[in-house]
Amino acid sequence: MAGKPLRRVGKTRIVPFALRIALIFSVFMLVSNFATNYINLTLHQEALVEQLRLLLVENLKELYTYAGNQYEIYEIQKDLEQVKNALTNKATMTFKNKGSFFVMVDPAGEVIAAAGSGAEAVGQAVLETLLQRQNQGTDDGFLSVRTEGKEYVFVYKYHPRWKAFLLRGEKLQEFYAKSRQIFWIVLGLIVVISLLLTWVGLRLIRSATKYLQVMTESILKMTQEQRLDIIDLRGASNDDITFLGAAFNSLSSTVNNLLFIFRKFVNKDIALQAYREKEVRLEGRERELTVLFSDIKSFTFITETLGTDIIKLLNLHYDRAIREVLNREGIIGSIIGDALLAVFGVLEGGKNKSYQALQAAYGIQRVAQSLRDKMQEKKQKLLELKQSFTEEEERLLKAVMLEVGVGIDGGRVFYGNIGSYERMTNTVIGDNVNSASRLEGLTRVYGVPVICSEYVKQDVEGNGYGEEFLFVELDQVQVKGKTEGKRIFWPLFRSQIDEKREQEIKIFEKALQAYYEGEWEKAEEWYRQISLPCAAVFLERIEGKKPPKGWSGIWTMTSK
């Protein structure tokens, strides 16, 4: 598909069918034309070598005669240097390429005259071969030699008067330069023409396989979005490709409903695992996660008051509360009546897990507050009409005013699938899961909407989100079933803390320190100065009392 990047399914690159066909034909065209051009070059070079040989023979004949004339001059003037210069100049005049050379070397290896790059090296390199041929009765001929990484071809003839060999040759690389340049120009033209024809062919093939591309695009999109859909085949021709698309649509309609139901009952990570691995196994592993536990307060009263209608109220609440979890990369661990267990950190990527859990916690609180506001608005409208409510109506109105508490803890837990291959469930197990439930229970004691552990505080502050949240230490408690005390915190958005609350928090912190140190009278004075909901529980504990013997600052809870 020209102009579009190749897509992948997993690690497999998806090559468009039309492009594949066009590329195959392009490769065949290029290989065929390249081979033809190369064979033509080879044959052409052989013909060039034959022409070169004839040219070199003619030049050598001329130089041979000239060398004889110069020998006569040498015998008269006895000026060898002048003769050398004359021979060199004469040879240079016959050169047509940069790689041309001439050399006259005697059997002892002494170079009498030389012209051209590498001439002396060639003469000395082939001298032994020339002497061997001379011993066999051959005084002239055609040879090639490779020296210093370069290949030369030359003709030679022995000059009896000079008692030396005359060599006239060419460097093959220079001699072939023009033909090779033509070869690459032709090859470039072949590539351009092949690409142009490939583009034309690709457009023709794409036109013929248009709906195959439509099907591929649709299926790739379905694969990425993990859903099945119907391929739009309107206007498709009556051929095998269209029939294939129609068969897929029929299968899609059958499977899509089952897949839709499956994803309603499992978490996103399990759906992804099933999609990638084609199965869901009974397995799990220890992971560091953050666990959120939300519970509806006074649920027994609500159940007794609403009866079976409580299902409608719960669904109204959970429909929005669960969205708060999912929108912050959390997953639903379980829903048991009024309790919601959510886990953060299972899905890859995204923001810090504890930060997301805190955002979800206050999102759930906003959901509950929104529901209470709507119910209060309806109550006011009814009150305008009726003027008063019966005792039963007051109970119903009170029951629908949902309030929730949220506890958050984190750490190493077991996360995975348990059960059997006949029926399994996805779950999270660990001490921190139970701790999150206990922390939710403490929201009723301290009168705050959200309580988290020290792990959550450190995880948020240690990952760059400390400026957004203020963690107010509430107490050190030893919950039921535990043997050690644990610091608990009330997380607050710094942006929502006004000047008055900020001052009250500072007083609360001083009162808490005095409370830890056993100075209960001083702590009581400070607690009475603030209106924070968590101050009331401390006044109830210490009002008019002294710390018990062996006071460690840890409050032991006697109930869950």
Question: Do 396 and 531 lie in a common domain?
Answer: no
Averaged pLDDT, 297-301: 85
Q: What is the pLDDT of residue 190?
A: 77
State pLDDT tens for residues 198-221: 777 767 766 666 666 777 777 777
- Looking at 466, 482, 516, the residue that finishes a domain is 466
CATH number, residue 74? 3.30.450.20
Question: Do 175 and 291 lie in a common domain?
Answer: no
* CA distance linking residue 177 with residue 332, whole number of Å: 74
Are 460 and 357 in contact by the 8 Å Cβ rule? The answer is no
Are 114 and 13 in contact by the 8 Å Cβ rule? The answer is no
Query: Would 500 be classed as within a structural domain?
Result: yes
Encoded amino acid at 106, one letter: D
pLDDT band at 340 (very low <50, low <70, confident <90, very high): very high
Are 445 and 436 in contact by the 8 Å Cβ rule? The answer is no
Are 57 and 210 in contact by the 8 Å Cβ rule? The answer is no
* CA distance linking residue 435 with residue 481, whole number of Å: 10
Question: Do 319 and 402 lie in a common domain?
Answer: yes
Question: Do 462 and 480 lie in a common domain?
Answer: no
Question: Do 441 and 519 lie in a common domain?
Answer: no
Print the domain residue range for 559.
473-560
State pLDDT tens for residues 216-260: 777 777 777 666 677 777 766 666 667 677 777 777 777 666 555
Looking at the DSSP bridge assignments, the partners of residue 287 are 413
Indicate the burial class of 37 (C-beta count within 10 angstroms; 0-12, 13-18, 19 or more): middle
pLDDT at 519 over 70: yes
Angle at 400 between CA 394 and CA 404, to 5 degrees: 130
* CA distance linking residue 331 with residue 169, whole number of Å: 84
Nearest residue to 456 (alpha-carbon basis) of 358, 361, 534, 360: 358
Question: Do 461 and 479 lie in a common domain?
Answer: no
Rounded to a whole number, what is the distance in angstroms from the first to the last CA of the chain? 64
Query: Would 404 be classed as within a structural domain?
Result: yes
pLDDT at 178 over 70: no
**Three-state secondary structure call for residue 420:** coil
In sequence order, the 6+-apart residues with CB closer than 8 A to the CB of 69 are none
Q: What is the pLDDT of residue 500?
A: 93
The total number of structural domains in the chain stands at 3
Ranges 13-22, 223-232, 339-348, 428-437: which has the least confidence: 13-22
Query: Would 2 be classed as within a structural domain?
Result: no
Nearest residue to 434 (alpha-carbon basis) of 556, 560, 346, 331: 560
| Angle between the N-to-C axes of helices 535-542 and 520-527, in degrees from 0 to 180, rounded to the nearest 10 | 140
112 to each of 55, 67, 165, 531, how far by Cα in Å?
23, 11, 10, 116
State pLDDT tens for residues 429-479: 889 999 999 999 999 999 999 999 999 999 999 998 888 999 999 999 987
Question: Do 528 and 395 lie in a common domain?
Answer: no
Angle at 18 between CA 15 and CA 24, to 5 degrees: 80
Residue-averaged pLDDT of the chain: 81
pLDDT at 270 over 60: no
Q: What is the pLDDT of residue 415?
A: 82
CATH number, residue 434? 3.30.70.1230
- Looking at 133, 153, 179, the residue that finishes a domain is 179
Query: Would 224 be classed as within a structural domain?
Result: no
State pLDDT tens for residues 480-514: 666 678 999 999 999 999 999 999 999 999 999 99
Question: Do 339 and 383 lie in a common domain?
Answer: yes
Contacts 24+ apart (CB under 8 A), 209-217: 209/17, 209/18, 209/241, 211/236, 211/237, 211/241, 211/242, 211/245, 212/17, 212/18, 212/241, 213/1, 213/16, 213/17, 213/18, 214/245, 215/241, 215/244, 215/245, 215/248, 216/14, 216/16, 216/17
Question: Do 512 and 369 lie in a common domain?
Answer: no
Report the share of the chain in percent with pLDDT over 70: 79
Contacts 24+ apart (CB under 8 A), 349-352: 351/465, 352/459, 352/460, 352/463, 352/464, 352/465
Nearest residue to 403 (alpha-carbon basis) of 448, 450, 441, 365: 365
State pLDDT tens for residues 88-104: 888 888 887 787 889 89
- Find tokens 């460690």 and name the residue: 552
Q: Tell me which DSSP letter residue 484 carries.
A: S
* CA distance linking residue 198 with residue 206, whole number of Å: 12
Cβ neighbour number for residue 44 with a 10 Å cutoff: 14
Question: Do 333 and 373 lie in a common domain?
Answer: yes
Averaged pLDDT, 281-298: 84
Cα-to-chain-centroid distance, residue 101: 61
Averaged pLDDT, 365-391: 84
Q: Tell me which DSSP letter residue 422 carries.
A: S
Averaged pLDDT, 172-200: 73
pLDDT at 151 over 70: yes
Are 172 and 152 in contact by the 8 Å Cβ rule? The answer is yes
In sequence order, the 6+-apart residues with CB closer than 8 A to the CB of 169 are 56, 100, 101, 102, 122, 152, 153, 154, 155
| pTM of this structure | 0.57
Query: Would 388 be classed as within a structural domain?
Result: yes
Query: Would 432 be classed as within a structural domain?
Result: yes
73 to each of 64, 84, 168, 369, how far by Cα in Å?
15, 11, 22, 122
Q: What is the pLDDT of residue 367?
A: 93
Are 418 and 410 in contact by the 8 Å Cβ rule? The answer is no
Q: What is the pLDDT of residue 250?
A: 74
Query: Would 279 be classed as within a structural domain?
Result: no
Question: Between 21 and 139, whose confidence is greater?
Answer: 139
Q: What is the pLDDT of residue 484?
A: 78
457 to each of 200, 328, 331, 485, 488, how far by Cα in Å?
64, 18, 21, 17, 9
Q: What is the pLDDT of residue 2?
A: 44
- Looking at 440, 466, 492, the residue that finishes a domain is 466
Question: Do 519 and 535 lie in a common domain?
Answer: yes
Indicate the burial class of 558 (C-beta count within 10 angstroms; 0-12, 13-18, 19 or more): exposed
Q: What is the pLDDT of residue 70?
A: 86
Averaged pLDDT, 405-422: 84
pLDDT at 12 over 70: no
Question: Do 119 and 75 lie in a common domain?
Answer: yes
Q: What is the pLDDT of residue 188?
A: 79
Query: Would 243 be classed as within a structural domain?
Result: no
pLDDT band at 277 (very low <50, low <70, confident <90, very high): very low
**Three-state secondary structure call for residue 544:** coil
Averaged pLDDT, 267-286: 57
Are 68 and 159 in contact by the 8 Å Cβ rule? The answer is yes
